[in-house]
Structure 1
Amino acid sequence: MKNKSINDLVMEFFKNHPKQDLPHGPVVDWVEEEYKKIYNKKPRDVWRQIRMLHQLGKLIKVKKGIYRYDPDYVQNKNIYDFSQKMKEKIFKRDNYKCVVCGRGINDGVEICVDHIIPKDKGGKNILSNGQTLCMEHNLLKKNYSQTEAGKRYFIKIYKQALKNKDERMVKFCKDVFDIYDKYEINGHISRPNGKKKN
C-alpha cells in the first residue's frame, strides 16, 4: 500500500508486538524490507525515526537501543493531540510539506502536525493552531522552547530602553526581533514595536 511512511511502518511493527521490549535492529530490518517492497528503495535513518517516535511520546525507551509500544500509555497521551481527521486537514492545507523547509514524504522526510501555540500554554486542537513540520523542525521546536523565554526577555529590555530613551538598546532589540521574524521563530509572541517583517 502506497503512502506508508517510515514512521507508519515502524509503528506497524511495534503495534504487532505490543508491550514487548524490542531491540531496534530487527525493527530496522523489517521496516527496510517493507519500505523497499513499496517504494523500491531503501529508507533513510530508520533507527533515527524510532528515536524520534520515542521523543514524540509514541514509544517508551526501556534502555539504550530497546523500545516498547504500550497502547495504554499512548492513549493517555493522545487525549491532548489533534484528531486524525484534523491532522489530515492540516496536512492537506500545507500540501503535505513542512512549513519551515518545504520538504515532505516525497522527499523521504517524515512529517507531523505541530501545535503552533503549545498544548501546555493553552493551544487548542483546531485548524488555525496546527502546522505541518518535518520531524527535524518539530524536534528543533521542542528542544529550543528557550527561544520563547529569550524573546520575552528582550521585550522587557526593549520596554525599559524606551523608558530610559536608550536609542542604541532600542535599535539592538528591534534587530533581535527582526531575526526572530526572519527565521519565523516564536511568531505567536507579538513584538512590542508593532513592526513585522514579511
Structure 2
Amino acid sequence: MKNNGSQLNLIMEFFKANPKRDIKHPEVVDWVVKEWQERTGKVFRDPDRGIRSLHQKGYLQKIAKGVYRYDPDFVHLRKDLEDFSPALKKQILERDGYKCVICGMGKKEGVELHIDHIKPKDLGGKASLENGQTLCSRHNFLKKNLKQTETGKKMFIQMLESAKDSGESELVAFLEEVLSIYEKHNINGHIVWKK
C-alpha cells in the first residue's frame, strides 16, 4: 500500500480499537491527525476522504451525518468500487485541459486538481473516461459534501434581471448587494455577473 494505504490503516486502527461504538467525525480526525504527525512527522491532509473511502468500501457503517461505526460482524466489503488508473487520470486531465470543468482554474492558478467520478463510485459509477471529470479541490469538496457545486449565484442574477425589468428598485439594490458579496469572496467566480 502507498502512503494513502497506511493512512487508511491508521484510521482503521482507531476504529478497531473502538468497535461497535458510534463515533463522531471530530474524535476520529483529531486522533488520526495527531497520531500520523507523531509517527511520520508529516501532516495527514485529508482524513475525511479516508473515512468516506472506508465507508464506501464497506468497512465502516455510516450511522448519521458525521457519525461512523466499525462492527466486525457487519463488514461488507464492496468489490465493485473502481478507482481511476494513473493512465486514465492522465487522459481525463488532458481531455479537460488540466483545468476544473466548473471554474476553469488549474495548476497555473495554484489550484489542486482532483479526478472525480461524475456518478459516484459508491452509487455504481465506473472508473471510465466518460464518468471522469477534472475538478479543483474546492468544487470537489462542494460536490462531495454539499451534493452541489454552486451556491445560487445564477438564481440571483436571473432574479436581478426580472427585478430590473419590473422596475423594482429596492429589490434591484438588494440583489446587487448580494451579488457583490459573491464577487468579494470569489464564490462561483465562473458564473459571470454583467453589472
TM-score scaled by structure 1?
A: 0.47
TM-score scaled by structure 2?
A: 0.47
